[in-house]
Amino acid sequence: MAPATVFVGTMGAGKTSVGQAVARRLGVPFADTDAIIEERAGKPIPEIFFDDGEDAFRLLERTVVSEALAEFDGVLALGGGAIMNEATRALLAGHTVVWLSVELSDAVKRVGLGAGRPMISINPRATMKFLLDQRKPLYASVATHTVSTDGREIDDIAAEVVALLK
C-alpha cells in the first residue's frame, strides 16, 4: 500500500486544497499529516510548538509521515517542513511526489502574516522568504512533478496534477 500521490510544498502552496480536489477526482481518500498530528497530540500545532517545542513536533511529524507513507493509499499532503528531515526525504523515494511551488507574494496572500503558523510568528514576511529559499532545493530533490500554483485556481491545478499522474 502506498499513497496515490504525495504533496509537498511550503505553507500557502495549496497542498490541502489541491490535495482534496485531486482526491475527489481520483475517487480516493485525502489525508493531511498536520491534521493527523493534531488529532494524535490532541491539540493544534501552535500549541504543540508552545507546550512541547519544535523538536517534539518534528519527532511526531516524522512518525506520522512514515506511517502514512507505509499505510495510506489516498492523496497525502505533508506539512511544509516535513522535508527538512533527511530520513523523511529518503522515505519519499519511490513515491509519486508533487511539489506545489508558490512564490512569496502568493504564499503571503494565502496564509496571511502569521495567524496560527508558529514557524512565521516573528517577522512573518522575512521568515516566509527564508523558509522558501531554504526549502526549495529540498522540495525539488524529492519531486516527481513540479506544479506552479501562483495565480491559479484550485480546479485548474488539480486538473494538471491528475493529468500528470495518468
More confident residue, 96 or 107: 96
Q: Which CATH number is 83's domain given? A: 3.40.50.300
Tell me the whole-structure pTM to 2 decimals. Answer: 0.87
Q: Give the pLDDT confidence score for residue 13 in this predicted structure.
A: 81
C-alpha–C-alpha distance, residues 97 and 91, integer Å: 11
14, 53, 123, 143, 148 from 106: Cα distances, Å: 10, 29, 17, 21, 11
Question: Which residues contact residue 39 at a Cβ distance below 8 angstroms, ignoring those fewer than 6 apart?
Answer: none
Q: Give the pLDDT confidence score for residue 132 in this predicted structure.
A: 81
Write the DSSP symbol of residue 123: S
pLDDT, mean of residues 59-77: 96
105: amino acid identity, one letter: S
User: 101-104: which pairs have CB atoms within 8 A and are 24 or more residues apart?
Assistant: 101/9, 101/13, 101/136, 101/139, 101/146, 101/147, 101/148, 101/149, 101/150, 102/9, 102/10, 102/12, 102/13, 102/14, 102/148, 102/149, 102/150, 103/132, 103/150, 104/128, 104/129, 104/132
> Confidence class of residue 119 from pLDDT cuts 50, 70 and 90?
very low
Q: How many domains does the chain have?
A: 1
Residue 40: domain span? 5-165
